[in-house]
Chain A
């Protein structure tokens, strides 16, 4: 397969995943800001949404203040923010168009259809209601894309490279949302079970579509260290770092087997997975959640760079 094709597939998957993640952050933020202040504290949720999306600096350079209008515009519709939902979907289609021959009809239909539909919102949403349906639509488009990839793609290198993009992006997103909210997850700050924390934690879970999963796994109230454990270490949780790396190791190995050659990327993926497997949440908290997440984000980026170096250029 052409390196450029693999590169396009990899980024296509990353952009679609990122668009969905942004939509989930915005959706969770909308819910939080709809609650009375007594329940959520006086922190600026919109500022925190920008930080979670990983573009606080770019935002600060463009806007004086983080509020509903500026943040929804910046994260969802701004043509100037390369990581806005709109730009992600546009970049996804550019990548898709460049590799039409490697996509199934269903995948192309989904991504091209989403791109056409996006035009409906080119002037921004007409109301909050409209914005909500926009977010739902983004999430659905991503699900449909992922589903059609899963259901229709041949299981060959094209599929594996797109999975690598998806899971690297997802791992990065999960780590970031935990890192932005890590102070809330530290058990000592607030009395456990206070309403303030409850809604914040629920919101974290909602951003990664894990609220229901949490209850199924733990069968108890939302507790901060369990939230962290679920999203970092539990491999049955599809957005957890452990699950992402389970998948990354598998897909990187399939590529290596098909090409008959292991490389740096495979070794790095296994190292990161081993670290996750050997960690316990108590120990992570002791040594510092923030430091742990920071290291993870760095390692994850390095793994991405190794994949690029080994296959995509």
Chain B
């Protein structure tokens, strides 16, 4: 098992260079001092009100995501590989979505089966032939990356709809700067604080052609009860844009307006944190009270830009994921810099047979699930759970994929009895605008707090860490 600080099991006695100063600092700092700062951090988080709601958990209506004070550190050269891989990935994703809703050359070339697109609930026929400004569909992606050794990064998931977590990336850094100034005196850490500026610039760059030179951008939230509401209000604040709910917007003559104290005001770009399904009750779910009636008509008339575009789910669907290496090759003519986790598609009968035989070793996921729901981790599950899952799998194999249980890298983490290794992943945030792709150095490191656990999702008790990318 690979540890971010101490390397592979063979080389455990040697601290990896990026972690050397942290190692010294941990050695010099008394446990009670660490513990005190840890509690201080928690207090700060609660005070600022950074909470998230857990669905179906009435007790902890607003809960804190555990924050771990030991940073996760990436060297400049590691980041360089990641950065190139992420840029490559988002280029391919945008080309793919554009192709799917227009010429469909990838289907004509037989790279992936048609029914995987056309029978996929996240495919939006409303988007067929729909032009979007500068052909950018995915403006903000949160691409989940894990590593298994010093050289190998895998992409676990391409979140191309409404990825969240970036507020934690920003707040974690603020808290670390406040609590551990002495640690920052030993490291030169690339800043992340310009993310909101980059995001705003990205959003403005894709305004519809009819918009003025200073387009009006808003953030559309489902509202207070959404688990990521804190993040929505945080970002709106940092971007200096209005945080709107569906009821604040009204469509007149195919133009979107917001209701203000000075009357109606035209809106050009909507950074929406609402799923496709709820955007417009006239087109999608008619029972949606969160959306804006007529929004799609304004969108189709090119009077407003939605970021991300409608129908991008087709790019991060778990069933499509296994084809990503071929997709990259098809559009860019390049081999992927970041690997794909080998994936068995249960829709194919020989794959299904393999999965059923090896289910105890594999991670099996529902293709339309997210957030760690609808997932079986073979090695960690008991017989009864496996049996129940297999029944579900057999009755509808098309809905499942399986992957080997990756030995995710670990990172030193403060736990009950001191400092111990815990499994981590990384979600960097990738921005794609009119003529520029930008990745803020770092991202959100999520950590599975219980010993041995591989589930980093915050809905399942995962925590977060500040992520440092070192300057050259």
Q: Is A101 an interface residue when CB atoms closer than 8 A count as contact?
A: yes
Complex contact B49–A3 (CB within 8 A) = no
A113-B244 CB under 8 A given contacts A97-B224, A98-B224, A100-B233: no
Interface members, chain A 233-285 (any B CB < 8 Å): 255, 259
B interface footprint on A82-103 (CB within 8 Å = 1, 0 otherwise)? 0000000000001001101100
- Separation of A112 and B47 alpha carbons in the complex (Å): 7
Q: Is B357 an interface residue when CB atoms closer than 8 A count as contact?
A: no
B interface footprint on A157-170 (CB within 8 Å = 1, 0 otherwise)? 10001000000000
A interface footprint on B254-266 (CB within 8 Å = 1, 0 otherwise)? 0000111110000
Chain A contacts for B262, CB-based, 8 A: 1, 259
Q: Is A151 an interface residue when CB atoms closer than 8 A count as contact?
A: no
Complex contact B47–A101 (CB within 8 A) = no
- Separation of A4 and B233 alpha carbons in the complex (Å): 14
Complex contact A3–B260 (CB within 8 A) = yes
A142 to chain B, nearest CB (A): 19
Complex contact A4–B247 (CB within 8 A) = yes
Chain A contacts for B247, CB-based, 8 A: 4
- Separation of A146 and B261 alpha carbons in the complex (Å): 23
Complex contact B248–A4 (CB within 8 A) = yes
Residue pairs across A and B with CB atoms within 8 Å: the count is 51
Find the residue from A6, A98, A259 having the highest chain B CB count within 10 A: A98
Interface members, chain A 1-42 (any B CB < 8 Å): 1-6
B216 to chain A, nearest CB (A): 12
Q: Is B280 an interface residue when CB atoms closer than 8 A count as contact?
A: no
Q: Is A116 an interface residue when CB atoms closer than 8 A count as contact?
A: yes
Complex contact A100–B260 (CB within 8 A) = no
A259-B261 CB under 8 A given contacts A94-B224, A101-B236: yes
Closest residue to A111 on the B side, CB-wise? B49
A117 to chain B, nearest CB (A): 12
- Separation of A163 and B292 alpha carbons in the complex (Å): 31
- Separation of A154 and B261 alpha carbons in the complex (Å): 17
Interface members, chain B 252-287 (any A CB < 8 Å): 258-262
A interface footprint on B336-380 (CB within 8 Å = 1, 0 otherwise)? 000000000000000000000000000000000000000000000
Q: Is B103 an interface residue when CB atoms closer than 8 A count as contact?
A: no
Complex contact A116–B236 (CB within 8 A) = no
Closest residue to B240 on the A side, CB-wise? A101
Complex contact B49–A2 (CB within 8 A) = no
B249 to chain A, nearest CB (A): 10
Complex contact A4–B49 (CB within 8 A) = no
- Separation of A3 and B258 alpha carbons in the complex (Å): 9
Complex contact B242–A2 (CB within 8 A) = yes
Closest residue to B47 on the A side, CB-wise? A109
Residues on A facing B (Cβ under 8 Å): 1-6, 94, 97-98, 100-101, 105, 108-109, 112-113, 116, 157, 161, 255, 259, 311-313
A-B contact pairs, 28 of them (CB 8 A): A1-B260, A1-B262, A2-B243, A2-B248, A2-B258, A2-B260, A2-B261, A3-B248, A3-B260, A4-B247, A4-B248, A5-B242, A97-B224, A97-B229, A98-B224, A100-B49, A100-B233, A100-B234, A105-B48, A108-B49, A109-B47, A112-B49, A113-B47, A116-B46, A157-B261, A259-B261, A311-B261, A313-B259
Residues on B facing A (Cβ under 8 Å): 46-49, 224, 229, 233-234, 236-237, 242-245, 247-248, 258-262
